Copies of this chain bind each other. A is one copy, B any other.
């Protein structure tokens, strides 16, 4: 019997999950739950839409909910609230607040007897897994995470708030020099500026002062001041034509030593090159949704992360098949 999935929130991530479910024969989309009026929008695949307020009426028909809201305001209350009644997966990605979110979700999931897997995606998610595996294997070492080349939504938004800016896209780019040093096992200490570049494509409003806008962007604290930042002014047409995608990716690299006195060096590198950040995140969410349902069926409950999920739970294939084909 296939796993029935509900999607909560229908933006880029929700649509990505809708597409990803289609790629998994053991799963089916039960419906999409949104704060919007369900008659006011169409789903990509014709899946049914419901108002979020009705969700409890569907409790018995849904095996797992994939929460596709934002980490800033939606997930902190939605995940614990829904974990009372459903197995849930979210992609909560405010790293500093993960411990707090974990506690809140764990309490409700345990009371409800449900499984909740939080912070699922690629970072946090697949990158976190790779940091953990690499540290466990090479305890005497150092790890590095680089992001990009990819679009940072937060930084693009920050530019759009600058006076005189009509629209903008910001790319985070790992520095080749830093990557090369890390790959060579040099274990460098890298400043913020040495790790990533920031490249901005900006459309000005009519009459705006380009020089002033550029200065304001480059000196923006937290977002740009600590980086080497390049600003390109382009037309709205160019922005829409050349910068409408949401690519991303990055690298997790651990360099470590083994031997009686650390005489041998090893480099473990994991990298992602993604055409669509939200669609890849969605694909990770969907296979963890499968894991959540399995863990719940085994009688487990509470809040989990990717660290707590045995890899075989992610796959629709049997242990026997996996050992034969992939081990």
Contact = CB atoms under 8 A, between A and B. Distances in A.
Contacts of A273: 183, 266-267, 269
Interface string A306-322: 11111110110001101
A196 to B, nearest CB: 20
Interface stretch (A68-76, A128-136, A208-216, A234-242): A128-136
Contacts of A140: 23
Nearest to A139: B23
A20 interface: yes
Identical copies of this chain, number: 2
A230 interface: no
Interface string A262-273: 001111111111
Contact of A258 (B23, B314, B319): B23
Nearest to A324: B99
Contacts of A99: 320, 323-324
Given A128-B327, A136-B315, A137-B284, A45 B260 contact: yes
A122 to B, nearest CB: 9
A315 B308 CA distance: 11
Nearest to A133: B311
Interface residues of A, number: 67
A156 interface: no
A269 B271 CA distance: 5
Contacts of A270: 130, 268-271
| Residue among A272, A309, A326 facing the most chain B CB atoms (10 A cut-off) | A326
A24 interface: yes
A301 interface: no
Contacts of A119: 327
A138 B311 contact: no
Contacts of A315: 132, 135-136
A49 B195 CA distance: 48
The 3 closest A-B pairs by CB, nearest first: A264-B275, A136-B314, A264-B276
